[in-house]
């Protein structure tokens, strides 16, 4: 069974609009972490935002915010005021279990976001 599900293979958004990228996850652990990464065409993986399972507040990092709904097991990424440079692949990822440097992170299938000028 898939642990991380991203149901939107591709999205087109007008520049300056807000966009929500969906992510649902499946785990039986009480302690886990959720991440969003951006991958431009160059291939590098750029960390965007992190949400711990015990964090009560939704994480925010500049134009990025994470809409964390624990009971629904969803961790949607919201990008406000989208820019042309936001066009890229976006991956939702999860770390199961307690945090440690040895904890592996698994990725969803990704959403390709394209920003229209």
User: For another protein, which is the closer residue by CB, 30 or 101?
Assistant: 101
User: For another protein, which is the closer residue by CB, 101 or 117?
Assistant: 101
Is 52 a binding residue for another protein by CB under 8 A? The answer is: yes
**Binds another protein by CB under 8 A, chosen from 12, 14, 26, 45:** 45
Alpha carbon distance 111, 78 (integer Å): 13
3-state secondary structure 8-21: CCEEEEECCCCEEE
Alpha carbon distance 16, 21 (integer Å): 16
Alpha carbon distance 39, 49 (integer Å): 13
Q: How far is the CB of 42 from another protein (least distance, A)?
A: 8
User: For another protein, which is the closer residue by CB, 17 or 26?
Assistant: 26
Integer angstrom CA distances of residue 91 from 30, 57, 88, 113: 22, 21, 10, 11
Q: State which of positions 76-105 bind another protein (CB under 8 A).
A: 91, 95, 99-105
The binding site for another protein (CB under 8 A) comprises 33, 35, 43-45, 47, 50, 52, 91, 95, 99-110, 112
């Amino acid at each position: 069974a898939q642990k991380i599900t991203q149901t939107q293979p591709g999205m087109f958004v007008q520049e300056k609009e807000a966009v929500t990228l969906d992510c649902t996850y499946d785990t039986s652990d009480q302690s886990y972490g959720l991440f969003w990464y951006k991958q431009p065409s160059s291939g590098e993986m750029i960390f965007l935002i992190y949400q711990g399972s015990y964090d009560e507040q939704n994480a925010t990092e500049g134009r990025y915010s994470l809409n964390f709904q624990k009971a629904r097991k969803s961790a949607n990424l919201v990008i406000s005021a989208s820019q042309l440079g936001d066009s890229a692949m976006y991956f939702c990822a999860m770390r199961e279990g307690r945090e440690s440097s040895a904890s592996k992170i698994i990725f969803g299938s990704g959403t390709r976001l394209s920003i229209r000028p």
